[in-house]
Structure 1
Amino acid sequence: MKKTLLTMAIALCFTASFSQVVQDTTVRTDHYGQVVDRVPVTAESRNGILVFESKDQLYRLWFDIRVQTDGQIFLCKTLNPIGNGVTIRRARFATKTNLGKNWYGEIDLDFANGAIELKDAYLNYNFLNGFSARVGNYKERFSMSKSTTSRYLKFMERSMVTSAFAPSRHIGLETEYNGKKFLVAGGVFFQEVKDAETNTFVEDNNKSYGRNQGISLTGKFVFQPFGNNKDHGVHLAYGYSYRQPKTDVAPAEYDNIRYSARSLSSINRKKYLDTDLIPGYKYQLLSNIEFAAYLKGLAIQTEIINNRTKRDNNLPTLNFGGYYAQAVYLLFGGKQVYDKSGGEFTQPVRGKKWGDVELAVRYDYINLNDKDVYGGAAEAFTGGVNFYTSRNIKFQVNFSNINHDRYASGKNKLFVGYDINGVLTKDPTKVADASGKAGEKYNQLGVRFEIDF
């Protein structure tokens, strides 16, 4: 009896104390001495994400943290030795907030392998009628694969053509309208904000040469005939971007452009696909056609990206490009989830309490050869298995077969085959066809351990 009374007394004291804290209206000031408004907030875990929110839901703050640990081994005998290894592919820390019904903001940093890099840093205003606008540093609306957060990628790395051409984050101002069956977005963008080196390039180009930062005009239209249907849908999109030279490159490289891509690996540091600096760069035009569809646990996605690089001094226009096509399927009753407002796939719904398993296949192709430029071409077949646990943990296994052509020499620094005497050569014109070995070919096996919280 005494124990029961004691327990009740403690509970009453706790309730009274908690009530006093919640109802406390004592005036508070900030470190500048200004009186501040006080709004109590509650803290809770929402699908493993820590969220602070006011009772009226007009204020919300949450953290978005992501760690991806990758390992890869490279199989088959290669012309150029490749070292196996492991890496922290991403170590992201983001803080996001809603301030009232209209305002949203976030800042996102990457600490992978000890190097700090700014990702997203922007302010968004929602007009609550389908229109919204944002300003700051963020991804341009161009490629479905590029705009999809790395948290929800179906493969360890994006396709080669996406890596080479699709614009990523730049400072800009963008508006968009989200209708019942379509999404349209357009904006003006400037230089890239990334790290200390990039900032130094921008400052040196301005201080020493008085160069404009250059603008990019990027727009995208997405047709979504099934609207926000949860079980099935279709995504058909067209993107276009006009891009002037930027000052986020070394001053000596300002009138040049360079296209390159890693071959589905952040561990293999060899860039077989590389045009080196292309002189006479005037501007480039990018176009993109996308098709995607989903039906319960099945999702397919493909993109075709074309690049036209205009040059001065009567140099011919260059045409590069490529494409990829992929399909994924959840084996245990899960559903693919399409984010209509973003025009991309997001976290799938798991079919079992313990999670789900997803099979994934992809083919991608890229060509950096045209006219007087030989940056190389390549194709890759990738098969993958994604294991989603019941929590915010994902395991990925990818096996890729990668085939480069004889011009994929990493700016003439890598071997591309054997000459007529059976000696390794870096000159594609000296590769003997009879050798049957033109261009680097190999297999790679990769694994990823990911946690989001």
Structure 2
Amino acid sequence: MKLTAAFILSCMAIFSSLAFAKKDNKNNFLSFDELKYETEDENFEIKLNGYLFFDTVNYDDSGKQFEFKNGSDLRSARIAVKTKLFKRWKAKLQYDFSKEEPERKDAWLSYDVLDNLTVRLGQFEQYSSLEGSTSLKNTTYLERSIPVETFLRGRTYGIDLQSSNSFWGVQAGTYIEEHDQFDDPEKRHKANLALRLFTFPVESKKYLVHFGIWGLKEYPANGKFEAEAEPETNINEKNILDSGKIKHVDSVLINGLEAAFIYKSFSLQTEYLSEKIDREEDRASITYDGYYASISYFWTGERRKYDKDDGSFDEIEPKHFWGAFETAIRYSYIDMSDENRDRGEMDSITLALNWYPTDQIRLQYNYSKVDFTDSINKIGISQLRAHYHF
């Protein structure tokens, strides 16, 4: 908690000192827009942002196969400081304070080599799919789909690059796991490699057509790997499907196809993902895969915003003083029944009801029905989230 207090007080001190800066000083601050400062020549910028999610959940597990417990939790509480130096240099530091101990999420420095080419170094998320690339504060559902959450790789250390124009984008990176100990040969392994290509041949006020393909090559430390799949809920995380510890693993190849279509207030989004686990010494490989499809509609006339630089979706801006209303439905499925390591299958149907009073506040309700191999009864999950970001 000392780190939490120190971090918040430091942020407050920085912004307080800037707030009292004189207009005629050498910094020549043009404006103070919420928690953002920028010089008149736009060479320097510093801003503070973050988000807060509070969840409550109720489980209907009549088969009593898992010890799900109803309750509430602080899903996420993040604060980030972003800076810009001489227009082309940027940096970000983000911490999450939802747990007992603060956890660093992002810590990176980037440089715009060209107007459409950026190189980044530090700790950040490895490149992944459309849903994985979209920030959780901008997703339609409370949690990402089962296959994306299963095959998604989290934050680690690395270097990557990103380039985009008015028609396509490319993202590539190489990453080293956080737990690597270079002085311990048993824990040393090759760097992960990721590549994502996406295109948006149609992008206008009414229409969006997006296609993408991506892949990540991973080299697990110590030749061990485990795949786990859980329902689309963060409270009471339970691995319903679990491959168990797989030994003698040489590499893991994850790849996916993605597509999205938007017409006015209607949107369709889908992805297919697979994970191939290659093993050493002619041992049989193992393949798991899955997919999801989602449809959403804004009854108040809004449209999902698209970020052409990242190939992802951005926040919603309500058109009316009463806010925006959205309904959505998603089907997701994962197959972990490879003949060499059969752990079954799982699918989920999720209904989402979202109200956006403002572009920074959101109330969300999700109801999911989860079915899986050897289930006695389907599991029902009701979730409610109060969402705020700035």
Partners of 1:184 and 1:310 lie apart in 2 by: 27
Q: Are the equivalent residues in 1 in contact too, given 2:163–2:309 (CA < 8 A)?
A: no
Scaled by the length of structure 1, the TM-score of the pair is 0.78
2:260 to 283, 288, 292: 292
Deviation at 1:146, TM superposition (A): 1.0
Per the alignment, residue 157 of structure 2 pairs with 171
5+ long unaligned stretches in structure 1: 1-17, 25-37, 193-200, 247-253, 407-415, 417-436
**2:292 is equivalent to residue 315 of structure 1:** no
State the Cα distance separating 1:332 from its structure 2 match: 0.7
Q: Give the whole-Å Cα distance in 2 for the aligned partners of 1:144 and 1:115.
A: 30
Counterparts in 2 of 1:277 and 1:57: CA distance versus 1, 3 Å: same
Deviation at 1:373, TM superposition (A): 1.5
Residue deviations 1:54-98, cap 9 Å, x none? 111111111111110001001251232321011101010111111
Displacement of 1:186 after TM fit? Answer: 1.3
Q: Provide the rounded CA distance (Å) in 1 between the counterparts of 2:235 and 2:186.
A: 38
Structure 2: give runs of 5+ residues left out of the alignment: 1-18
Q: Deviations over 1:341-382 (max 9, x none)?
A: 110111123121221011111000011221232333200000
Counterpart among 194, 204, 211 of residue 187 in structure 2: 211
Q: Helix, strand or coil: the match of 2:99?
A: helix
Correspondences of 1:385-404 after superposition (within 5 Å): 385-404=353-372
Quick one: structure 1 residues 105 and 450, their matched pair in 2 at CA, closer, same or farther if it must change by over 3 Å?
same
Paired position in structure 1 for 2:243:
275
1:44 lines up with 2:32 in the alignment: yes
Cα shift at 1:210: 5.3
- In the TM superposition, residue 304 of structure 1 has moved relative to its aligned partner by 0.3
Secondary structure at the residue paired with 1:394?
strand
- Are residues 180 and 391 of structure 1, via their aligned partners in 2, closer, same or farther at CA, if it must alter by over 3 Å? closer
Report what 1:220 is aligned to. Answer: 196
> Equivalents in 2 of 1:337, 1:391: separation in Å?
12
Residue 434 of structure 1 is matched in structure 2 by none
Structure holding more helix per residue: 1
Match for residue 238 of structure 1?
213
Cα distance in 2, alignment partners of residues 384 and 399 from structure 1 = 7
Q: Return the alpha-carbon distance in structure 2 between the equivalents of residues 152 and 315 of structure 1.
A: 42
Query: Aligned partners of 2:89, 2:156: CA distance in 1, in Å?
Result: 21
Residues 20/321 of structure 1: CA separation in 2 closer, same or farther (3 Å cut): closer
Q: Is the 8 A contact 2:318 2:359 kept in 1?
A: no
Q: CA deviation at 1:389?
A: 0.9
2:379 aligned partner: 442
What is the total number of aligned residue pairs between the two structures? 371
Percent of matched pairs sharing the same residue: 24
Question: CA separation in 2, counterparts of 1:323 and 1:317?
Answer: 21
Match of 2:14 in 1: none
TM-score normalized with structure 2 length: 0.90
CA deviation after TM superposition for structure 1 residue 232, in Å: 1.1
1:23-64 deviation digits (Å, cap 9, x = unpaired): 35xxxxxxxxxxxxx41325533xxx5111111111111111
Secondary structure in 2 aligned to 1:162?
Answer: helix
- What residue is the counterpart of 2:13 in the other structure? none
- The match for 2:89 is 103
Change (3 A) 1:213 1:137: farther
2 CA distance for matches of 1:289 and 1:64? Answer: 32
- Do structure 1's residue 53 and structure 2's residue 41 form an aligned pair? no
Q: Which residue of 1 aligns with 2:332?
A: 364
Q: Provide the C-alpha distance between the structure 2 equivalents of 1:157 and 1:177, rounded to a whole number of angstroms.
A: 28
SS at structure 2 position matched to 1:224: strand
CA RMSD between the two structures:
2.0
Q: Which amino acid aligns with 1:132?
A: T
Asked if 1:157 corresponds to 2:143, the answer is: yes
Equivalent of 1:188 in 167, 174, 194: 174
Cα distance in 2 for residues equivalent to 1:347 and 1:168:
22
> 2:5 maps to which residue?
none
